[in-house]
A and B are shown apart, each in its own frame.
Chain A
Amino acid sequence: MFDFKVLLESIIEIATVVPKTLVLAIFILLLSLLMGAIIALIQQYKVPVFSQIIKVLQSFLRGTPNVVLLYLMYYALPGILTFFAGILRIEFDANSLNPIVTVILTFSISYSVFQSEIIRGSILSIEKGQIEAAQSLGFSFWQTFRRVIIPQALVAAFPDILNSLLVIIKALSLAYLISVVDILGQAKMVGALSYRYLEAFVGAALIYWLIGVILTFISNRFELKLRHGFH
């Protein structure tokens, strides 16, 4: 029989890792945005070599499941880091590598190519006329970028960025595979301890759902506020 009391207890247990999961997801989001911005720039200016590398990376990431990437990084990263540490003559113990670092790097890289699309799209959505107006008023390139392009691009990209936060939170459910405990990982442990897996997973599902609802709510509110007056 489904036990609501166990469900409640499971939810409370699982909820303890929600802050950690959120912080992790936000960190990955910011890092992937930063990398995405760099990728967008490289593509915009067609930087030789780098833009070709990114093309290959893009098609690789598009075709490869996150699980595979995660395992790949888990087994390859210590070697890669040891190699670079060797070049730079830095002491580095591959066994000390925290799997959280692997999770952060894997997902940041994985989502950076998608973020670059969001960033490019939002910048392209700004009318050329406004940019020309700024230029004709004497704004420098950076002033135009900072004062005209960025504020409007952020508003245009905001719903997509928040959506990708949700995607990252869900993708983090794979992190337990390399022993980083997130919402799903915690649910598995709670289930294993109580022998009530169904209640634990229902609890996890409800928590994911709630986070999704809250993010959507924030997204809608902010969109209204940010867009106030224009569009």
Chain B
Amino acid sequence: MLAIRDLHLSFNGNEILKGIDLTVNKGDVVTLIGPSGTGKTTLLRCINCLENPSKGEITLSDLQLNYETISKKDILKLRRKTAMVFQQFNLFKNKTVLENVMEAQIIVQGKKKEEAYKKSIEELEKVGLLDKLESYPSELSGGQQQRVSIARALALEPELILFDEPTSSLDPELVGEVLRVIENVARSGVTIVLVTHEMSFAQSISTKIVFMDKGVIVEEGSPQFIFEDSNNERTKAFLNHFKSNQTVGV
């Protein structure tokens, strides 16, 4: 359902993404792993057109676009099929939890208020935040904020949802609640592209792992293949580094 071909991107003359090819099937959970500064976030942001690649093509279900000729209209179409969950949550600070989840449904999808309300309640129930409807983001913990942002994304029923290190700015004791929510999202069949440093979580949830280093995809495969059977030196070195300072999973 998602195919990226020969994606290139530079920041001030530095090539950050050096020809990325990536395919994601419907219902897949694809996890991008790799060292810091490798371009994982940048790749996700390209899928959502928050960055401007210099070259490459993207196909998302019936949309087929070339980044060199992409129009504003196409960008909106692409964004309306996808949703992104950010490391820093990025909730609208002047809006309550409920309003955060309702806003885009009304503004972008043109839903009626009652309809948007119903959907918001549904999604907020799934992430366990029905008791916080009227709270403002500043009154919530990081884990709660991230769950709101996931509800906000899911309420739009995107075909593809992008997670960029959704637990990296959380206190360790809050990581679990967010990972459980993501797990449920994965189980519900939504297609996911995820960037995370939670290796055991990646291993358990993913249908495919993509290992990136220095702007290229080094190798990809099933979690079993990448975590257990890979013979690639760079992959092994990266994973070994992780095993020695493992972070807490679910």
Whether the Cβ atoms of A137 and B83 lie closer than 8 Å is: yes
| A138-B156, A229-B138, A230-B138 as given contacts; A132 in contact with B86, CB under 8 Å | yes
Bitwise, B73-108 to A at CB < 8 A (1) or not (0) is 000100110111010101111101000000110011
Does B146 sit at the interface, judged by CB under 8 A?
A: no
Bitwise, A196-212 to B at CB < 8 A (1) or not (0) is 00000000000000000
Q: Hey, which chain B residues are within 8 Å of A229, CB to CB?
A: 94, 96, 135-136, 138-139
Bound Cα distance A137, B136 (Å): 19
Q: Hey, which chain A residues are within 8 Å of B93, CB to CB?
A: 130, 152, 230-231
Closest chain A CB from B50 CB (angstroms): 6
Secondary structure type dominating chain A contacts: helix
Closest chain A CB from B187 CB (angstroms): 23
Does B120 sit at the interface, judged by CB under 8 A?
A: no
Closest chain B CB from A82 CB (angstroms): 45
Interface size on B, residues (CB 8 A): 30
Interface size on A, residues (CB 8 A): 23
Q: Hey, which chain B residues are within 8 Å of A139, CB to CB?
A: 104, 107-108
Q: Hey, which chain B residues are within 8 Å of A127, CB to CB?
A: 90
Closest chain A CB from B93 CB (angstroms): 4
Q: Hey, which chain B residues are within 8 Å of A121, CB to CB?
A: none
Bitwise, B113-125 to A at CB < 8 A (1) or not (0) is 0000000000000
Bitwise, A212-231 to B at CB < 8 A (1) or not (0) is 00000000000000001111
Does B152 sit at the interface, judged by CB under 8 A?
A: yes
Does B206 sit at the interface, judged by CB under 8 A?
A: no
Whether the Cβ atoms of B107 and A147 lie closer than 8 Å is: yes
Q: Hey, which chain B residues are within 8 Å of A231, CB to CB?
A: 93, 138
A interface list, Cβ under 8 A from B: 127, 129-130, 132-141, 143, 147-148, 151-152, 155, 228-231
